[in-house]
A = this chain, B = another copy of it.
Amino acid sequence: MIRFECDYAEGALPEILDLLVKTNMEQTPGYSVDVYCDRARQLIKEELQSSDADIHFLVGGTQANKTVIQSVLRAHQGAVAASTGHINTHESGTIEAGGHKVLTIPSDDGKITAQQVKDLLHGHFTDPTMEHTVQPGIVYISNPTENGTMYNKAELEALRAVCDEYDIPLFLDGARMGYGLAAPDNDLTLADYARICNVFYIGATKVGALFGEAVVISDNKLKKDFRYHIKQNGGLLAKGRLLGIQFIGLFDERKLYYKVSQHAIAQAMRIKTAFEEAGCKFRYDSPTNQQFPILPNDIMEKLGEKYAFSFWEKVDENHTCVRFCTSWATDESNVDKLIEDIKAVF
């Protein structure tokens, strides 16, 4: 079985494993206050072109989302998100377990607009009985979204402007940020993210590392006591240096974070083209490493004999939307085979 079902099917970049092996028997203090974490922070700050962001390393995305939101909100506040947002659909209610409602904005493709957010915020803060409802306290978006779509710079800036108007932070989930940075037509840099978002994170679990998400807090008001929240949410890794070492591997002079992302996108575009040329429609217009072709059911079954991909949703009696993912680890020859088979089955 050749796996395209997700972007976390393999381990890590060999260069990262090498670093782990090389540093293995060194002794460092725990909990991410070691020299490796410091070095990784320094490298990331260079990418951000910002010397005063706070950077914290967490193990996974659900943990990062919960920790950031928990640290920002007071008890009566909730997190605004697309109805399709990961915190609303695929984190087992961890935001609610922390006491906060997810205030959803309808979205078909994973994106929400500044106008939608403005309407929601305006509606709340002009409601004379507002205290009977949950106060929006943070806006959560992801880029790329869970549906492979992308916000551009202007859209993010518009979202931030609305957030500023209501003094609410903008939080961006970058679990697949690398793939977004490498997407055709992308006009955002890490420095842009740091400037536009009050807080965001750079995902590595899906982009070359064994695990790891680097939370970047640009907004001074959100920096205080963040490590308490990491610990309280079970995210303060004892051997914290493992996170630092991996981010060094991604952001040192080799800039592997960008390179492997480009590889994944190149492979995704090849798959996209193959499906397009076979006459497929797509559920979302994705320039990123997740592709959502709509397949006739018999073709889906035939491809499924050899390739693992994800069921996304039933489109009609005879068609199904599925998800193919590429990643830093995608083997070009496997994509060759897939493309050949696509040509053959249609």
Contacts and interface: CB of A to CB of B under 8 A. Distances in A.
Given A24-B11, A134-B93, A234-B233, A228 B76 contact: yes
Nearest to A232: B92
Given A11-B23, A29-B9, A225-B135, A232 B94 contact: yes
Contacts of A9: 27-30
Contacts of A242: 11, 210-211
| Residue among A12, A20, A93 facing the most chain B CB atoms (10 A cut-off) | A93
A10 B30 CA distance: 9
A96 interface: yes
A153 interface: no
Interface in A84-139: 89-94, 96-102, 129-135
A129 to B, nearest CB: 8
A61 to B, nearest CB: 8
Nearest to A11: B24
A296 interface: no
A243 B60 CA distance: 14
Interface string A187-211: 0000000000000000001100011
Interface residues of A, number: 76
Contacts of A90: 129, 132-133
A21 interface: yes
Contacts of A235: 63, 234
A156 B70 CA distance: 33
A64 to B, nearest CB: 8
A74 interface: yes
A207 B29 CA distance: 16
Contact of A25 (B225, B227, B329): B329
A247 to B, nearest CB: 16
A17 interface: yes
A183 B26 CA distance: 26
Contact of A98 (B60, B78, B97): B97
Contacts of A5: 29
A154 interface: no
A230 B130 CA distance: 12
Contacts of A70: 75
Given A11-B24, A76-B229, A78-B93, 12 more contacts: A8-B30, A17-B21, A60-B236, A67-B234, A92-B131, A92-B232, A96-B96, A97-B98, A97-B232, A210-B239, A233-B233, A234-B235
Contact of A63 (B1, B92, B93, B234): B234
